[in-house]
Amino acid sequence: MARILVMNEKQDRILLDEYVHPVHIEDEHASQQILERLAWAIQDAYQPDPDQYALRTGRRADATAPDPTTAR
């Protein structure tokens, strides 16, 4: 299984943590959705102000992502 993980350079924020499957790139719509989320995460990693991240995502920048292996 493949996983996309985007963190800022300090590695104190996880901006995207997503498992992906081949089906996620088999059609144009699903592919564009993954690329959009990846682009947001990359842009957020360069945000010097965590409040800007919170405004766009509704999540605090220092919030840690849940462990997807334990989520049900």
Q: What's the pLDDT tens digit per position in 62-72?
A: 555 555 555 44
Domain definitions of the chain by residue range: 2-57
Residue 51 · residue 63 · CB < 8 Å: no
How is 24-65 classified by DSSP, letter by letter? GGSSHHHHHHHHHHHHHHHHHHT-S-HHHHHHHHSS-TTPPP
Report pLDDT for 62.
Answer: 53
Q: What's the pLDDT tens digit per position in 3-57?
A: 999 998 888 889 999 999 999 899 999 999 999 999 999 998 888 766 655 666 6
pTM: 0.62
Report pLDDT for 4.
Answer: 95
